[in-house]
Amino acid sequence: MSKQKKLSVIEKAIKIFKNGGVVIFPTDTVWGIGCSINQPKAIKKLYQIKKREPAKPTAVLVGSVKQAEKLGVINKQAKKLIQKYWPGGLTIIVKAKSTVPQLIQGNQGTVGLRMPNHQQLLTILCQLDNAVVASSANFSGQPVPNKKSAIDKKLVAQTDLIVDGQTGGNLASTVIAVNKKPFKLIRRGIIAPDKLPLDK
């Protein structure tokens, strides 16, 4: 009998995402928790695990601009920001396409997209060939973890895998809404707002 091949952590993560599981993983900003965007039950589970309000939208991590274009309307301003800051710590809120699950749009009909500057995570996203609905790996309202040891063990216990690795920073991503003018800074984060090339 041949020995079964041992899966790498990347292969494990992809398999779990495809099977509707929830995974904790390091990013270029802080520790994240997420699931595949095309697994509705997993998205509901993610909200339940985080104790997140159903009306609150959740960001989406993509492995390429092509993935982003399938999910959101990439207008002129979004293109400018993508060229300058992707991959990196900028989440761009744009008008959502019909491919985006209603649950993660909130009540605005928008989607927050980000391509992380983290090789391991980008490899997972590209090989999965699908976007991942993602949030910081903490219960809603609790501190955002930048170290693995800071992740609540009760949160870890409810997930299917924790991917080993290092995060790239102490701050979450900066979030900017460019779906309509005036453009709006939603969250201050790793990229200073005054560095953003926004049209007036």
The amino acid that residue 46 corresponds to is: L
If one counts the domains in the chain, the total is 1
Contact between 103 and 41 under an 8 Å Cβ cutoff? The reply is no
Q: Say if residue 55's pLDDT is above 90.
A: no
* Mean pLDDT, residues 153-179: 94
Q: What is the pLDDT of residue 170?
A: 77
Structure-token pair, residue 171: 């701050």
Sheet with 59-61: strands ordered across: 161-162, 23-26, 31-36, 132-136, 59-61, 110-114, 90-95, 174-177, 184-187
Between 138 and 4, the higher pLDDT residue:
138
pLDDT given at position 1: 44
53: domain range?
9-195
**CATH number of the domain where residue 13 is located:** 3.90.870.10
How far apart are the C-alpha atoms of 114 and 59, rounded to whole Å? Answer: 8
In a domain, 134, yes or no: yes
Cα separation of the two ends of the chain: 67
Residue 125 belongs to what H/E stretch?
A: helix 119-128
The neighbouring-strand residues paired with 136 are 32
| 121 assigned to some structural domain | yes
Which residue has better confidence, 154 or 3? 154
Q: Does a structural domain hold residue 3?
A: no
200 found inside a domain: no
Average pLDDT estimate for 99-120: 94
Query: Does any domain span residue 185?
Result: yes
Is residue 191 one of the residues assigned to a domain?
A: yes
In a domain, 86, yes or no: yes
The CA distance from 163 to 166, in Å, is 10
Question: Is 4 within a domain?
Answer: no
